[in-house]
Amino acid sequence: MSTWQNWAGNQAMSPAQVAHPSGAEEIAQTVKEAAAVGRRVKAIGSGHSFTSIGLTDGLLLQLDRHDRLLSADATTGLVTVEAGLPLHQLNALLMERGLGLTNMGDIDVQTVAGAISTGTHGTGRDSGSIAHQVVALELVLADGSIVSCSRAERPELFEMARVGLGALGVVSSVTFQAEKAFALRAEDRPMPLDEVLEGFEDLVAANEHFEFFWFPHTRMALTKRNNRVTELEPLSRTRAWVDDKLLSNHVFSLTCRLGSLAPRLIPGINKIVARALTARTYSDLAPHVFTSPRRVRFCEMEYAIPRADLPAVFRELVGLPERLGEHISFPVEVRVAPADDIPLSTASGRDTAYIAVHVFRGTRYDRYFNAVESLVAGVGGRPHWGKLHNLDAAELQRRYPRFQDFQAVRRSVDPQGLFRNAYLDKVLGPV
């Protein structure tokens, strides 16, 4: 491999060595060999992170051959998989066995290890991130040892490694607490943005999974409410194709390309799109509702803020594009999560709302993203580890109460910094 690029095309690397290990023992042997010659190690998944979290100039471990289902118990719901398994394949394997994850993000191309290590999440009133559904992990540490951890076994390592940023070792396998497969009723409904913000807490409280998309330069939002049901009423193939492939991908791609060629047209395009929004209701198995295809490539920044602060912060955000003189084609996404107990989770210790801002691939984003970052700083915003941000270890320590606890575990399992790279040096500091 000469050059590797991520999904968005904004990160690239030329590692000194690339390995495709299969099985924990092979991963461990590869790690030992790299350590012996002083070569740093980094595992990579599908490349869906927008940051440089997965880059290395040393040994790149691609886990595409380390992707098996190891066990699944339909009675207990415990499912163990190898770390390189993509989420969409995990969903398919679980459905075959009458099981499913409690919550998912809207993109399912990430690998299991990549998703949990960066804190990937969906939206949920009561259900947390993908990492929050993990009950056990197997890791290959810097000395080549293979260790298991859970709440009962090496609990201090387990609580840190669920969102470990790749800094503690190579995740080899993951055990999830799944549940019986279930269906969701999806209600997508356009609403005036002011009504959404005014009733935000009520909308979150009334729905198991609530989120909304706001179209910059307009006063309209698309709300999405997903709640459990027992009967399936899926979209027709024609409606699904029109909504999820034609409009959400092909037509949206064309409008983004047009906007990139003539930015002054973007506000008008967004107003047309907002007026064209229509309601739809359907019910399907949860993975078909949680996730959707994303073929239009973009760059993204996402910040987690205290949920109670969302309406006030968002009202300030609404006027940013005009104040900056920027034309933004991509909608802004808002999701929620309950407080969790994972030290470097963006929802650690507080009920959370997420604000995600995007720009079409190839578009300059620094002024817009920096302005949003400054806005959320006042409420202690925490950046998604796999999405663009500018914070360093000194600032992140102020925003994560257990930051030093993570550092202590990191020093104990990787004292020489075998798994460090430039990104981890910035966000965690030196080992």
- Residue 404 in any domain: the answer is no
Listed in sequence order, the residues at least 6 apart from 287 whose beta carbon sits closer than 8 Å to its beta carbon are: 91, 95, 100, 101, 104, 108
Report pLDDT for 85.
98
CATH number of the structural domain spanning residue 98: 3.30.465.10
CATH number of the structural domain spanning residue 334: 3.40.462.10
- Residue 421 in any domain: the answer is no
My answer on whether 362 and 268 are in the same domain is: yes
- Residue 413 in any domain: the answer is no
My answer on whether 244 and 293 are in the same domain is: yes
H or E stretch covering 124: none
Residue ending a domain, among 25, 44, 61, is 61
Distances in Å between the Cα of 145 and the Cα atoms of 97, 139, 284, 352 are 33, 8, 43, 36
Q: What angle do CA 84, 90, 96 make, to 5 degrees?
A: 145
- Residue 431 in any domain: the answer is no
Global pTM value: 0.96
CB atoms closer than 10 angstroms to residue 308? 13
Report pLDDT for 245.
77
My answer on whether 322 and 227 are in the same domain is: yes
My answer on whether 160 and 245 are in the same domain is: no
My answer on whether 372 and 265 are in the same domain is: yes
Q: d(Cα 244, Cα 221) in Å, to the nearest integer?
A: 18
- Domains in the chain, number: 3
Distances in Å between the Cα of 13 and the Cα atoms of 1, 21, 266, 275, 390 are 10, 20, 33, 43, 20
My answer on whether 106 and 223 are in the same domain is: no
Q: What is the pLDDT along the chain (431 residues), one digit of tens a residue?
A: 568 999 999 999 999 999 999 999 999 999 999 999 999 999 999 999 999 999 999 999 999 999 999 999 999 999 999 999 999 999 999 999 999 999 999 999 999 999 999 999 999 999 999 999 999 999 999 999 999 999 999 999 999 999 999 999 999 999 999 999 999 999 999 999 999 999 999 999 999 999 999 999 999 999 999 999 999 999 888 888 777 777 788 788 888 998 999 999 999 999 998 888 899 999 999 999 999 888 899 999 999 999 999 999 999 999 999 999 999 999 999 999 999 999 999 999 999 999 999 999 999 999 999 999 999 999 999 999 999 999 999 999 999 999 999 999 999 999 999 999 999 999 999 98
- Residue 414 in any domain: the answer is no
Which domain range does residue 23 map to? 4-61
Whether the Cβ atoms of residue 72 and residue 99 lie closer than 8 Å to each other:
yes
CATH number of the structural domain spanning residue 22: 3.30.43.10
Residue ending a domain, among 61, 82, 104, is 61
